[in-house]
Chains A and B, each alone.
Chain A
Amino acid sequence: MPIDFTRIDDRFIHAQVIWGWTPLIKPTQIVVVNDKIASNENLKKILLIAGEQIKEKVKVRILSLKEAIIDPSLNGKDQEKIFLILGSPSDALFLIKNNIDIKKISLGCISECPGKRRILETISIDDEDIRAFRELIEMGIEIKYQATPSDKPTDIRVLNILNS
């Protein structure tokens, strides 16, 4: 069974996820997959205590990419409803190539920082992101940009963001 909801948002657990997306998606588990967070005890703890603000009964987990590909829940081995949060299209590509069943991606936020150029209000990308997005699209993955839960999701192919 494919992952219920996959979102790219490099703020991972934050206000919009806590009060916007989670009540909408109603997952049983929120899984953040990111090597930087998973290997940094401070960052991990901060995101986990942020996750405690979620009033719904949801388990929040933080995994590295390597842990993710062998994780039973992410591999559909149990009945969990998963809200998967990733930081980049490259990480999504890695998971898919390692048999994690992701069919659709909700593109939320890739923050502006040196080396990335802003192409949409909440999306800044570099060449690596562009390559990953192109490969994901070639593999038939549906990627829709949606900054907030009330925005209309728009297929990134019609946004013309990968031609630059």
Chain B
Amino acid sequence: MTGIIIVGHGNLALDLVEVSERILGKQENLSAVSVQVGESDKILYQKLENIVEVMKTDDIMILSDIFGGSIANTCLYFAKLRGHVSVITGFNLPMLIKVLTYRDKVNLEELASLACESGKNGIIDACKTYDEKG
């Protein structure tokens, strides 16, 4: 099983995890990290190390909010130093649900493709879809 860590600005990560667990039920090896304004990358890096140590899974997937942001930059740095870590940015609920459902069925590389695909597929112009149904 791949351990999943959600990292986001403010309370995005905590809320996303809470909502996903309301849908799928309580999950193991799923952790949320909230990064508050003014917190350093060192603090985030330390938190990631601590979580990974507790999870005891070889493979880790980090879902983060925005590519190029300070959080994603730090997650990427952590991934490159540790290894066996995938970082996917632009997280959303469809992505997290997919990842939680497939993480014990596919390897980390496949899980990363699924995360990107489901994240993108989850973005739908709902009104347009409705209108097109006639």
Contact = CB atoms under 8 A, between A and B. Distances in A.
Interface of A: 10-11, 13-15, 18, 42-43, 46-47, 49-53, 109, 111-114, 118, 121-124, 147
A112 B77 contact: no
Interface of B: 37-43, 66-70, 72-73, 76-77, 80-81
A121 to B, nearest CB: 6
Given A46-B77, A112-B43, A113-B43, A122 B37 contact: yes
Chain B residues touching A, majority SS: helix
A85 to B, nearest CB: 12
A47 B40 CA distance: 16
Contacts of A111: 38-43
Contact of A46 (B38, B42, B73): B73
Q: Which 6 A-B residue pairs are closest in the complex by CB-CB distance?
A: A111-B40, A50-B68, A14-B70, A11-B70, A53-B68, A15-B69
B44 to A, nearest CB: 10
A121 B37 contact: yes
Nearest to A17: B68
A116 to B, nearest CB: 8
Contacts of A123: 38
B38 A47 contact: no
